[in-house]
Chain A
Amino acid sequence: MASITGSVEIEVRRPRRGVIVGVLLVAWVAAWFVLKGINTLALGGQETTGLHRWLTDQRDFLGGGNAFLDAIRVVVDQFVILLQAVIAQPSYGRPVPLIGWLGVVAVSAYLAWAFGNWKVAVLTAAGLTFLGLQGLWQESMDTLSLTIAAVLLALLAGIPLGIWAGLSNRAFKVATLILDLMQTLPTFVYLAPLTLFFAIGPAAATIATLIYAAPPVVRLTAHAIRSVPRESVEAARSLGSSGGQTLMKVLLPMSRSTVVVGINQTIMAALSMVTVAALIDAPGLGQTVLKALQTLDVGVAFNAGLAIVVLAIVLDRVTTAAGDRPWRTASLRRKVLLGAGAVVALVAVWFSRTYVWAADFPTGANIGSKIAVATTDATNWVQDVFGGFTFGVRDAVTKGVLNPLEALLTESPWWLVAVVIVALAALLGSWRGAVPAAVCLGLLVATGVWHDSMVTLASTLLATVVVVAVGIVLGVWTGRNHRADSWLRPILDAGQTMPPFVYLVPFLALFGTSRFTAIAAAVVFAVPVTTKIVADGIRAVPVATVEAANSVGSSTWQVISKVQLPVARRAIALAVNQGLIYVLSMVVVGGLVGAGALGYDVAAGFAQSELYGKGLAAGLAIVLLGVMLDRITQAAARRTRKFKGTARGDNLW
């Protein structure tokens, strides 16, 4: 679908290519009428291919003792257990953790103040206290321990890798491919094998989180290093700086704020893994969510999900504030204040080690159950009021758009679909689009889950188009309007970190078990990141450019469509890419609410040993779909940009 919207853009400027795309699509529909149902490579739910059975057999050879892996496991385990002993679990023969709740709140607020500002310090104190009031103090601290461990390890590995990928073009290319793989390969595929490698325990959960959470910081570090102006580097070189000096004195300081955005996104990604990691016994809030959902208790699940969102918002705002803080030596006055603050924090820690009321969060003022009851009532009300209407919307969209698209993709012979996609890729992005498309399609056939891949592709295309459309509208709005941004941001953060499992139950009630439900869930998850990136791009448009357009009497619409969007097009390309990746990372969740296809294959492979190989193949198919769509859109974007370059005469698109 992304490729079809692309064709519309091009039609305006170069009618001939648009005509070719149109003819191609019409020919496809005509061929579909004739060839419907031949060579569709359909495979039943419990059926497997030789490759799948082979993969299932390989799984057992993976496990088994290995000194290297054991060493990693012991180190990571001990690290997490240490963190838990400090803030979460009874430890060292005492019935409470080393530092009780009061100490944790005081120390966190102090750190937020020291590295950020007093506003985020207040937010931190309020946020953490709120977790206690929800009745989830210990669970939250367990989650926080695991998250801190995973994020620190991700940074330890990710920042050096990011620097390397920033300095070397070859490393950058390899890294991009691997990062795509890490972000789109469903966690379910490696969750079970990880417990073979690293045993059941904190290490496996931490490493699963790490794999998913590390890519943003690597990507953004590399991006930051590559964005440092060439002149700055050359100036440093001409003054005789060595490579190391240039890195430390020029590249890294100049990339700092973007690297912080990467750290920030890594934290968000780690928190979005909390529930999935709970499937292999990761302690904390994820357990609360999963347990509540066994009995469809939306209220309790929401309460725990809210705690994850609060943690995410606190960590996000503190790291953002820390990134914005200019590096300078503190004034004498600030030093004195920092010292005094440290004393207060230490006093609080002492209290929390001495008195029960400061160690265990008091249970008196538990607002958690109230939140749970209110949520349950609210969801019931929404279901009763909108239930009929939402089913109507679902049926209209499914019959009008999804079913025809899916029929075209699944009922055509596989070779016809492959030829059409490669041809479209060639038209839109020349060989840069066609070659990766051909390779990915070939491998998709080899995975043996072609038919399911096409079902998933249809839903993915629809979801991505909606995500990009909504993301651009919201992104432009929040990018231009500061107040809209501050109101919308907590909601976007919630969409990104609230475990999907929490809102799936109300979604199931509203839309039933269907592909539409899965699409809706994917849209909720992917819109925030798209919006944030677009807004960032709009904000980065130089004020002078916008003012110039205003001064010649352009309307708001003209400013947006002729100035801001074209200037921000690199950000928009990145937003499309991340929107797509986020949609794909929800495929498995979609499989749990009726989308079937690849998502269900992966989930079933995780649960049934004889289907493991098929699940792995389906996971790889998701990656292939992601790589293929990404490369085609990137190539198409590149091509339109080049075209624009030659027509620079009328500067404004």
Chain B
Amino acid sequence: MTKKLRSAGVLTAFALALTACGGAKVGEADKPATTGGKECGTFNLAVSPWVGYEANAAVVAYVATKELGCKVVKKNLKEEIAWQGFSTGEVDANLENWGHEDLKKKYITEQKVAVEAGLSGNKGVIGWYLPPWLAAEHPELKDWKNLNKNAAMFKTSESGGKGQLLDGDPSFVTNDEALVKNLKLDYKVVYAGSETALIQAFRDAEKNKKPVIGYFYEPQWFFNELKLVKVDLPAYTTGCDAVPAKVACDYPAYELDKIVSKKFADSGSPAYELVKKFNWTNDDQNVVAKYIAEDKLTPDAAAEKWVKENQSKVDAWLGK
């Protein structure tokens, strides 16, 4: 055995020596990009865990790197932790914030470590959705008033004899338990617990023609695959959701916005100007999200593709 080992060792060394001497040497070829960097420096960008956000981050990071010479450090963080990062100075910017009035109060008003940097141009919608086949076959379900008549259709092993309203991503505030109670619906809120579980449920429902009704939101890459149909709840009016336990109306429309750390805003970094001016539509975001989620491009490649096709929008962000 030892003999074998020895000869194997000698052979390997020999083979290495033979094959190796031809290869390119480390450091000969492409030097690491050293474009500028002085002006902009390091730009710490929080990346929240959903594809839409990643689309925003990809494009901003791409432009900041290529046009401004920044060293962009993407940090993959849950929203909550990204907000904490403003106070510890480890996060410079959040590019898609969904409301979070409580966090704004804490970090912007009280601790004064973060500031708003304008709207991102994306419109957020939260509500109850049906898979397309169900909406086509039972168009009456699009009105909440007809939900009770069809409650039996939505029964599952989890819903205790009532209809199942699939809720879900723990990151989002939901009024659904109050809604079910106050609208006197014969439904039980079942917590799917993750976006993954929600998407899988809608996918399965469409494929196997099963009835499902659940909490979902736009913009979302999944709409490229399946156009879910929103159920009309009693219309939202200002203040109708003031008391959480008494909510009996639809969710408000969210104007998604951008938040940056106070330090970053005061730094005079060109990246801050870029973040402030960054603005695009839901369709823009969906295109980039589709490149990432379905065409499997890397975020950088997806951003490059979009930027090439939309140079004028990018120029506007850069103030050209």
Contacts and interface: CB of A to CB of B under 8 A. Distances in A.
Interface string A188-204: 00001001100111000
Interface stretch (B118-126, B187-195, B230-238, B300-308): B187-195
B125 to A, nearest CB: 19
Interface in B150-195: 156-158, 166-167, 169-171, 173-178, 189-195
Given A512-B156, A606-B80, A594 B190 contact: yes
A592 B102 contact: no
B242 interface: no
A201 B26 CA distance: 29
Interface string A115-143: 00010000000000000000000000000
A591 B77 contact: no
A527 to B, nearest CB: 23
Contacts of B199: 296
A424 interface: no
Interface centre among B28, B171, B178, B192 (most CB of A within 10 A): B192
A127 to B, nearest CB: 17
B193 A595 contact: yes
Given A46-B177, A200-B90, A357-B23, A295 B51 contact: yes
B292 A295 contact: yes
Contacts of A351: 16, 20
Contact of A513 (B24, B178, B193, B293): B193
Given A46-B177, A355-B26, A387 B80 contact: no
Contacts of B28: 356
B50 interface: yes
B243 interface: no
A609 B103 contact: yes
B81 A195 contact: yes
- Chain A contact-residue range equals 35 or more
A607 B293 CA distance: 23
A505 B196 contact: yes
A56 B193 CA distance: 21
Given A196-B84, A348-B16, A509 B170 contact: no
A357 B23 CA distance: 6
A333 interface: yes
Interface stretch (B132-140, B200-208, B267-275): B200-208
B149 interface: no
Interface in A328-361: 333-334, 337, 340-341, 344, 347-348, 351, 353-359
Contacts of B190: 513, 594, 596
B78 A607 contact: yes
A599 interface: yes
Interface of B: 1-2, 5-6, 9, 12-13, 16, 20, 23-32, 49-51, 54, 75-81, 83-85, 88, 90-91, 102-103, 106, 156-158, 166-167, 169-171, 173-178, 189-201, 203-204, 208, 221, 244, 292-294, 296
Interface of A: 44-46, 63, 90, 94-96, 100, 102, 118, 192, 195-196, 199-201, 278-281, 287, 290, 293-297, 333-334, 337, 340-341, 344, 347-348, 351, 353-359, 387, 394-395, 398-399, 403, 504-505, 508-509, 512-516, 591-596, 599-600, 603-604, 606-610
